[in-house]
Amino acid sequence: MTRTSTVAATAALLVLATSVGGDAALAYDPFPPGYGYLNANEIRALEKAVRDGDHKTVRQHGWKLWAGIMQPSTGAPGWPIWYTWPNTTAAFAAPPNLALTASNARGSLMQLNARLSAGQPAATPIPVNVKNVPCYPIPAPVVKDYPNATSKCGPNNICDGKHFQFNGDIMIPTESLSMPGFKWIRSTRIYEQAKLNELRQKGVKDIGLPPPYVVTKHMFWPVKRDGISAIPVWNKKFNPADPNYAGYETWSDLVAVDPSGKSVGTKATVSYLYGVLQLQPAPQPPTNACTNQTPFPTVTASATVYPLKDFYYHQVTQADWDSFDEADKAIINAASYWAYNAPFKVNDYLVTIATHVNTKEIPTWALQSAWWSDAPNTGPYAQDRPKLPQAKGPWDHYLLVDAYGIADPKGSDRLPVATNPYIELVIHPMGTDCNNCHIRAGWPSAAHGGTASYQNPDCAELLQKLSPNNTCFDKITRTDFQWIIPDRAIPSK
C-alpha cells in the first residue's frame, strides 16, 4: 500500500534508483524449497482449509512461508533472501520513453494510507476512522546531508531508495516482489495508469495475477552498535471498537537490545522518539506540512535487555553502506534520528520487527504477517508452529497472524481482527482484517463511493467477509488483492 508517483518524484527516482529490476550487483534468490511454497499438495490442502475454516492448516503454511523468506541469501551474503528481490520502486519506474503528466504531490506510506482510509460513514456499527496521526518532520541534518533525496519527491518526504522505501516514521520498509511478479508487472504495463484506464474501459472486473506472484513488506528498526537501544513492543489486545490511532508511539511497553550481550537479562532504562510531533490530521498534499508544533514526548522506560540473536538482524558494513544510494541513506538516518537522536553509522544494526508475506498460491490468496514479540510462545498468534529444523534464525521468536478470509466463528459474515500491530496500527484502525483490506484493491482509487479505498460508503465495514463479486466492487476494476498497483501506477499521457 503505497503512494502515487509524481513527475518530480519519478524524475528523481530515475536518478536515485537502480535500473529496472533491482540492484544489478545482487544475484536473485528464488523462494527456497522445503517451505511449502507452490507445493501442489499444500495448495490443495489450503483450498480445502479455507472452505472448511481450518486455521491450523493455513497457519502452518504461513509459518513456513515466513521462515522461508527470512533464510540467508546466497546472492547477498548476510542478508535474507527477500533482499535480492526487485522492489516496487523498480517495478513501477517509468521507462525513458514514457511521457508523464502532473499529479498530486505524494507523501510517505503512512500519509497516503491515512488519507485513503477516510470516508467511513459515521452510522456504521464500528467507527473506524483514524483522523489523527503523529507527524515526523525530516530531521535537519538529514535534509542537509541528503539534499536530493529530501527535496525532489515532495515536501516533508524522502524519495524511495534503491533498497529501502520511506514509511514516514522510524520503520524502514522494503516492498519486495518475486521475479515472476516483477516481470508480470513490467510486461503487462500495469505500472501505468493509462493501462489501468484501458482495462476499466474494456469492462475488466479483475486483472488476475499469476500464481508465482509473491510480495513482501518488511520492516527494519535501527539499533546502535554501542550502548543499549529501545524497541517498542505490542502486548495489548486488539479492540475492533477502538477508532483511535494506536501506533507504536502510544504503546506502554519497551524492550532493550544490547549488541555487546553484556547486559542481557537485566533491566536497563532506555529512551526513544525524538523530533516527532503530536497527533494531528494526516498531512495533505501539496504541502504535507505538520500542522501541530507540539512535540511528542520522548519515551523513557525500564526494559528487559535482549540479545541480537533473538531478532533477525543485519550489521551494516562499509560495503553495504557504499551500495546504498542517497535516498537509502537518508531513510535510514532519519529513522535513527527519530529513534535515538543520533545518525546511523557503519556497523550499526538493522533488526527485523515485522513482515508481510503475501502469495497468490490460491485464488483467495495466502496472506500472513509476522512480528517480533517478547512473549513469542503465548497467545493465539503463537499457535500451530510447525517443526522446521532446517530453518536458520529466530523465526520462532515472532508471532504470526493469518488472513485467508476464514470467517470468525462468532458470525459467518464477519472476519476476525487480523492485523500486524507494527505495520497496520500506524495507518489503520484496530478493527481491520488483511483479507478485507486487500480484496478491496482496485482502480480507480479514492476515498469516496464508486472507487476503491480501504473504507468507503460502498464497502463500509472493515470486518465484513467480502467476495470478489460483491456489489460494492461493481464500479471498479479489482487489482487482485494488490494495493501497490493502484497506489504506485504512474500517470502518463
Asked if 490 contacts 96 with a C-beta cutoff of 8 angstroms, the reply is no
Q: What is the pLDDT of residue 168?
A: 92
Kindly list the distances between the CA atom of residue 475 and the CA atoms of 29, 189, 231, 440, 491, in Å, as whole numbers in the listed order: 39, 22, 43, 12, 21
* Residue of higher predicted confidence among 364 and 242: 364
Each as own residue / partner, the long-range contacts of residues 319-324 (CB below 8 Å, 24 or more positions apart, any chain) are 320/78, 320/346, 321/346, 323/23, 323/25, 323/162, 323/163, 324/161, 324/162, 324/163, 324/164
* Residue of higher predicted confidence among 450 and 117: 450
Kindly list the distances between the CA atom of residue 311 and the CA atoms of 76, 207, 272, in Å, as whole numbers in the listed order: 19, 38, 19
Give the torsion sign (CA, 4, 86, 173, 293). Answer: negative
Question: 448: which 3 cell numbers?
Answer: 469516496
Average pLDDT rounded to a whole number, residues 402-413: 89
User: Tens digit of pLDDT for each residue in 417-429?
Assistant: 999 999 999 887 7
The secondary structure element, H or E, covering residue 59 is helix 55-69
Q: What is the pLDDT of residue 432?
A: 87
Distance CA 3, CA 488 (A): 5
Helix, strand, coil shares, percent, the chain, to 5: 25, 20, 55
Question: 70: which 3 cell numbers?
Answer: 527470512
Asked if 216 contacts 357 with a C-beta cutoff of 8 angstroms, the reply is yes
Q: How much is the mean pLDDT over the chain? A: 88
Other Cβ atoms closer than 10 A to 378: 10
Banded model confidence at residue 15, pLDDT cuts 50, 70, 90:
very low
Q: What is the pLDDT of residue 242?
A: 81
Say how far residue 42 (Cα) sits from the centre of its chain: 26
Kindly list the distances between the CA atom of residue 481 and the CA atoms of 57, 125, 174, 414, 438, in Å, as whole numbers in the listed order: 21, 25, 18, 18, 4
Q: What is the pLDDT of residue 127?
A: 44
Question: 85: which 3 cell numbers?
Answer: 528481490
DSSP symbol at 315: E
Cα first-last separation, the chain: 24
Banded model confidence at residue 118, pLDDT cuts 50, 70, 90:
very low
Q: What is the pLDDT of residue 379?
A: 96
Residue 345: is its pLDDT beyond 90? yes
The least confident of 178-187, 333-342, 447-456 is 447-456
User: Tens digit of pLDDT for each residue in 124-173?
Assistant: 444 445 677 899 999 999 999 999 999 998 889 999 999 999 999 999 99
Banded model confidence at residue 115, pLDDT cuts 50, 70, 90:
low
Distance CA 186, CA 189 (A): 5
Average pLDDT rounded to a whole number, residues 440-447: 90
Average pLDDT rounded to a whole number, residues 88-110: 73
Task: Report the percent of the chain where pLDDT is more than 90.
Answer: 73
Banded model confidence at residue 290, pLDDT cuts 50, 70, 90:
confident
